[in-house]
Amino acid sequence: MREIGVLIVDDSVIYRKFLYDIFTENLGLEKVDRVSGGQAALDRLALGKHKLVTLDLEMPGLSGMETLSEIRRRYPDVKVLMISSHTQSGAAVTIDALEQGAFEFVAKPNLDDREAMLRFLREEISRKVNHLLSGGPAPAVFRSTRAKVAKPIPAPKPTPMPRVHEKRAQPSGNEIALVAIGISTGGPAALATFLQAFPKDYSRPILIVQHMPAMFTKALADSLNQKSLLNVIEAQHGLPIEAGTVYIAPGGKQMCVVKKGEVPKICITDDPPESFCKPSVDYLFRSIAGAYEGKVLALIMTGMGSDGARGAQLLKRRGAVIWAESEESCVVFGMPREVIKLGLADEVLGLASLAKRCAAFFS
């Protein structure tokens, strides 16, 4: 797998050299080529030597989005890693790219310290590409580009799962009060497909943790809101949790649920990462287990790493229903695999079936 051919597409000679060094020196790859534009990239890909492309979004001539569209049309098996700017407009275009099939993205950080910026990019690209090369689980880390991330607080070791006869009875569809989703790599495209299956009068709230940096989650919520009949928003602290609304956890923050009185509310904190993730699926699931007991339908969908497995264990002990996305439809079969491996998944479904099943579960 280390012999994978890589094509770097960037109009900046400095970035081309920097990315080349990452792939050859840090990742130990030998088949690495560089071009300065979209048309040149398409010409090189026609030779059939490359399986991974890093693609700059902002290029003269054929744009990054136009190039991506052509790559997906002509060479659907080629993985594309987008290199985007850390701006609001860059975030919106990046979400479009992910929904159109880009494998992942790395945002160029807004750092005055050039060495810190290069170090950040080296770590982010190496982590994501290493996962692709190895096929194994890897943490999805999205850190602030202006400050060092606090070391994660060690999570307590999960209590062994009770035997089947010790579990609480699972609630019926009518008893479920909330849908909670944990998702990472491949998430934007999967969520766009998933949420389109839901009717406008869907009677449950949906809380989603998508591993993504700050600013990008707002763009994701806006994009999904345009594609779905449901009201999709980036979650804000203190918002009441209402039926028919989809709440996307803000990037670079932790999202949880607090229940004081009858109405559960969104709580946004700056607590440290868990499982190297911020936002963290485990963090959300743990709070949901306390606020809703077992009256929850939890979905673990495409993504690398194991975030969500600890939280799913806790929800399962409370009697929650847990579904996992199948390997066939996952971009990265990491998070669902961990839940399935632990015996927590009540059902394992492909993306299309998962969406239809969830949309009809309460009818």
Q: Do domains 6-134 and 164-360 have the same CATH topology?
A: yes
- What would the pLDDT profile of 130-142 be if each residue is shown by its tens digit? 877 765 443 333 3
Q: Of 184, 223, 228, 287, which one is the catalytic site residue?
A: 184
pTM for the whole structure = 0.85
Listed range (6-10, 83-87, 138-142, 212-216) with the worst mean pLDDT: 138-142
CA–CA distance, 122 with 351 (Å, rounded to integer): 32
Distance CA 150, CA 42 (A): 42
Active site residue 131: no
Whether 307 is catalytic is: yes
Comparing 265 with 141, the larger pLDDT belongs to 265
Q: What does the pLDDT read at residue 4?
A: 87
Can you give the pLDDT at residue 107? 87
Q: What is the DSSP string of 89-104?
A: HHHHHHHHHHHTT--E
Q: Indicate if 126 belongs to the active site.
A: no
Mean pLDDT over each residue of the chain, to the nearest integer:
88
Nearest to 216 by CA among 193, 182, 239, 187: 187
Fold of 6-134: Rossmann fold (3.40.50)
In the chain, where are the structural domains located?
A: 6-134, 164-360
User: Strand pairing partners for 267?
Assistant: 256
Is the pLDDT at 102 greater than 50? The verdict is yes
Residue 1 has pLDDT above 60, yes or no: no
Does the pLDDT at position 233 exceed 70?
Answer: yes
The pLDDT score that the predictor gives to residue 129 is: 87
pLDDT at position 286, please?
Answer: 97
Out of 10, 56, 282, 307, the active site residue is 307
Q: Are strands 264-269 and 254-259 parallel, antiparallel or unpaired?
A: antiparallel
Alpha helix locations (H) across the chain?
A: 13-21, 38-45, 64-74, 88-99, 114-134, 187-195, 216-227, 281-292, 309-317, 335-341, 351-360
Q: List the catalytic residue out of 36, 211, 275, 282.
A: 211
CATH code of domain 164-360: 3.40.50.180
